[in-house]
Structures are given as structure tokens and as C-alpha cells.
Structure 1
Amino acid sequence: MKSVISSEWLKLRSVSSTYHAIGAAALTVALGVAWTLYVAALADERGTLRAAAPEQGFLPLVQVSLAVLGVLAITSEYATGMVRTSLIIVPKRSTLLLAKAGIIGMATFVTANTILLLTYATSRLIANDRSLGFNQVPLTDDLPMLLASGLSVTALALVGLGLGAAMRSTAGAIMSVVALLFVLPGVATYLPAPWNTHVSTFLLPNLVPQVAGERLSSRLGDGFLPSWAALALLLAYPLVALAIGYYQLRRRDA
């Protein structure tokens, strides 16, 4: 297993798409700086204001970028035919998928948390003593949300890996992740009450504040999951996607 993990790590860091995905996610830091400079200038003119925290406002960019990394980790091998070589070297498909999941999970968790923490730190440094709304609480209070956000990125990357293994299509898997992240939450808001609240509460993007112990916004209804239940459901998303991916990987030829 150790040699398989080493091989997957080598694959991940030897392709340019990895750096493109990470680079796109890292734009969050620059966007966070630009946003903070903008709202800081407004605060200088108008005084106190309440702005969205940049690490939360630009979180979808990190989520989508690293979910694409998860998708490409498997679909690029199908596109080039490299998956056949991988299966010759590692005939047990569960071992291959598990090694990929481990490497993608580790890489995206570290990358996401680094980007989010940098965005957090730079925005607070620029904000200084201005009252911008998002810089009024200490890091210890914001840490649960930061960790939940980083975990959601890893979950989406593993969902992308599972869907990529199941669909064998880069475009199809990416569109499915985008639908999960943006389309379904939008559709849920148009459901009749109380179904809009119930469905929204269980959707992956809305689990982040619940994992951190916060309530959902009034637009989405009041989230009612305790932190442990929201965390369990967040982890269930990639587990289900990887199980489907493994089933398809096992039943079909490379």
C-alpha cells in the first residue's frame, strides 16, 4: 500500500493540472485582499459597516477549484489510457481508489486550510482596527468555521474523485459537483415550506455553518442539525460518492 500511495503522490505532483487547480484556489487570497481594501476604503468614508468575511465569501472558488483536482485525478487517467497501466501494477481496484482518495484528501485539506488561513490573516491585517463586521471576533471564535470550511473543500474533492471514477467524464463529473454546490441549494429555496428548510439543511454547502455550530441564514431557514450530525453528514457525501465510484470501477473494464 505504501508504494501505491507514493505512486499516486508522484502522479499528482507531476501533472500541470494540479498546479493550475491550486493556483485557481489560491486566487482567493488575492481576491480577499482586494475585497478587504475595498470595504476598508468604504469604512474610512462612512464609518462602521458590516461586510462579509472574505474567507467565506470566496470559499466556493476554493471548493470548485480543488473539486476539479479530485475529478482530474481519475478522469485524466481514463483520457490518456494510463488507468490500464495503473490497474496492471495495482490489480486490486479498491487499493488504487483508496490510495487516490488518501492523497487527494491530504493534499486538498492542507491546501484549503492554508489558503483560508492566509486569506483570514491578510484580511484582518489590512482591516486593522476598522470596524468591518468580520474582524470583530478573535481567531479562536472563527476557528470552527475555518476548519469546517477546509473540511468541506476536502469532502467536495473526494466527491469529485468518486464521481469521476463513476462517470469517467471530466465535464460530467465537474458539472455534477457544480450542481451539488450551486444548483441544488438554489432549487431547494423554491420548494414549498417547510420542505425548503428541511432540504436546504441537508445540502452539502449548508452543512459548513452547522458543523461550526452556527445557524443557517433566514433565507435558507433555521438549520437544526447539531454539530456532530452535520459533520457525519458532511463525511457521508464523499463516502457515498467513492462507494459509487468503486462500484463502477470494479464492474467495468478500464
Structure 2
Amino acid sequence: MRAVLSSEWLKIRSVRSTYLILCLGLSTVLIGLTIALAAAGTYDAVSPEQQAGARIADLEEVLIVVPQLCMGILGILVITSEYATGLIRTSLALVPRRWPVLMAKATVVGALSLLVGALAVFGTYLVAGSVLGERFSGAYTAAFEDRLPLLITLTLTVPTFALLGLGLGALLRSAAAATAIVVGLVYVIPIIINNVPEPWSERLGSLMISALPRQITGDLITTSVYGSLLPPPVAAAVMVGYAFIPLVIATWLIRQKDA
């Protein structure tokens, strides 16, 4: 297994697109800094009455979609690129049991996306807090230990997307199809669900990945565009399901089918 891990790590770091995707994922911090500076400038330019009613969303929560999408696409490309070039045949021939190949890819992609997620989430939180200070009714003045559970859960959504992308890529063997599903989970499906009549809108919305972090921590907001019906253990189980169910099915199929 160690040799397979080393091989997958060599593959992923020898491709230039990997570094581009990582840079795009980490650009979240720069985007957050830019938005925070613009928001602080706007806040300082208005009257005290307007400042009293001004609010700003948590930037790390809004911008988490950037590393989510980037690492989800990386997970897709890690497997679909091998199917496209035929390299997967060589990989599976060298590892007859087959499942270690997919598990090694999952380990490498998962660890890398966890690191990117942590840097993006905590980096954005730190730069936004340092710029905004007590502006916007102290949006960033809450104690760090109080914010830590949500920051950790937001971080975990990034490897969730990466493993989901890897599983979908292995199942569909098509980068375009897998990417469409991942993008749909972030943008398209929530819009559709938001227009579904109640109570199904909230029921289905509660199952979206973006709705899970606050449900897992119990830190719910009534203004969320998503639902908030799941208790923390169930929300955590749903997140695990997103990450591993496609991967488990793909692992079973890869042992049954030819590459």
C-alpha cells in the first residue's frame, strides 16, 4: 500500500494543473481580503445610523465554495485523466486487487484537500477579522473558541467535495459529467430546491452540503436559504455519505469491470 500511495503522490504532484487548482483554491484568502477591505471602506463612509443597521455575512462561509469546487474538480481529474489516457490499465495491472489504487488516490486527494480547506477557511477568517474588527456590529468579535467548531466543519466540506469528485469520476469515467454534478450540487440544485413548495423545500435543502456545517455544530441561522431540520449526528452522517458512498460504489465496480 505504501508503494501505491507513493505512486499516486508522484502522479498528482507531477501535473501542472494540480498547482493551478491549488492556487485557485487558496485564492479564497485574497478574495476575502479584497471583499473585507471594500466592505470596511464602505462602512466607514456612511453615517452612524446606517452603520448601526449594516451587516455582513461570514466571508469564510460564503467563499468556501471556491476551494470546494477546486478540490472537487481535482478529485475528478485525478481519476478521469487516467481513463482518458489509458494509464488506468497500467495502474490496475500493477495492483491486481485494484481497490488499493482508488484508496490511495482518495488518501492523497483527501489529505491535500484538507490542507487547502484549512488554509482557505482559517486564512479568510483571520484576514476578514483583522480588517473588519468591530465593524458591522462586531461580526468578527466573537471568541475564536466559539467560532472554532464551525470553522473546522467548513474545512471538512472541502475534502468531502474532493472525495465526492473522485467517486463520481470513477463511476462515470467522464470529467464533464462528474463536474456537472459537482457544480450542480453547489449552484443549480439549491436554486431548484429553493423554488420547491414547502415543506419539501426545507426538507431537501437540509440535505445540501452547504447546509450541513451549521447543522452539525448546531449553530443555525433563521435567514439561511437552506433548511435546518437535521440534528447534528444525522447531518454529520449525511456529510460522510456524500464523501464515501460514491467512492464505495466505485471501489466495488472497479473490481468487477475492466478498465
**Offset of residue 133 of structure 1:** 4.6
Which residue does 1:18 correspond to in 2? 18
Higher alpha-carbon deviation: 122-131 or 106-115: 122-131
Q: Measure the CA separation in 2 of the matches of 1:221 and 1:247.
A: 33
Work out which of the residue numbers 51, 63, 70 in structure 1 matches 2:75: 70
Q: Measure the CA separation in 2 of the matches of 1:167 and 1:103.
A: 20
Matches within 5 A, 1:1-254: 1-46=1-46, 47=48, 48=51, 49-131=54-136, 133-218=138-223, 220=225, 222-254=227-259
Question: Which residue identity does 1:17 align to in structure 2?
Answer: S
Sort the Cα spacing of 1:129 and 1:181 in 2 relative to 1 into closer, same or farther, 3 A. closer
Q: Measure the CA separation in 2 of the matches of 1:72 and 1:154.
A: 15
Sort the Cα spacing of 1:221 and 1:66 in 2 relative to 1 into closer, same or farther, 3 A. closer
Determine helix, strand or coil for the equivalent of 1:202.
coil
Q: Measure the CA separation in 2 of the matches of 1:253 and 1:94.
A: 13
**Offset of residue 221 of structure 1:** 6.0
Question: Which residue identity does 2:33 align to in structure 1?
Answer: V
Query: Does the aligned pair in 1 maintain the 2:211–2:226 contact within 8 Å?
Result: no
User: Under a length normalisation based on structure 1, what TM-score does the superposition of the two structures give?
Assistant: 0.94
Q: Measure the CA separation in 2 of the matches of 1:247 and 1:138.
A: 45
Higher alpha-carbon deviation: 195-204 or 151-160: 195-204
Sort the Cα spacing of 1:222 and 1:100 in 2 relative to 1 into closer, same or farther, 3 A. closer
Query: 1:77-97 CA deviation, whole Å, 9 max, x = no partner?
Result: 111211111112112121111
Query: Does the aligned pair in 1 maintain the 2:97–2:255 contact within 8 Å?
Result: no
Query: Does the aligned pair in 1 maintain the 2:113–2:158 contact within 8 Å?
Result: yes
Question: Which residue identity does 1:134 align to in structure 2?
Answer: A
**Offset of residue 209 of structure 1:** 1.4
Q: Measure the CA separation in 1 of the matches of 2:173 and 2:61.
A: 31
**Offset of residue 35 of structure 1:** 0.3
**Offset of residue 60 of structure 1:** 0.7
Question: Which residue identity does 2:26 align to in structure 1?
Answer: A
Higher alpha-carbon deviation: 216-225 or 118-127: 216-225
Q: Measure the CA separation in 1 of the matches of 2:139 and 2:12.
A: 36
**Offset of residue 128 of structure 1:** 3.3
Question: Which residue identity does 1:162 align to in structure 2?
Answer: G
Query: Does the aligned pair in 1 maintain the 2:67–2:116 contact within 8 Å?
Result: no
Q: Measure the CA separation in 1 of the matches of 2:185 and 2:26.
A: 22
Query: Does the aligned pair in 1 maintain the 2:76–2:166 contact within 8 Å?
Result: yes
Taking only the aligned residue pairs, the percentage that are identical comes to 35
Q: Measure the CA separation in 2 of the matches of 1:132 and 1:122.
A: 17
Determine helix, strand or coil for the equivalent of 2:198.
coil
> What stretches of structure 2 of length at least 5 have no aligned partner?
none
Query: 1:8-67 CA deviation, whole Å, 9 max, x = no partner?
Result: 111111111211111111111111011000110011112432111221111111110110
Sort the Cα spacing of 1:2 and 1:33 in 2 relative to 1 into closer, same or farther, 3 A. same
**Offset of residue 224 of structure 1:** 2.2
Higher alpha-carbon deviation: 230-239 or 154-163: 230-239
Sort the Cα spacing of 1:222 and 1:88 in 2 relative to 1 into closer, same or farther, 3 A. closer
Query: Does the aligned pair in 1 maintain the 2:29–2:120 contact within 8 Å?
Result: yes
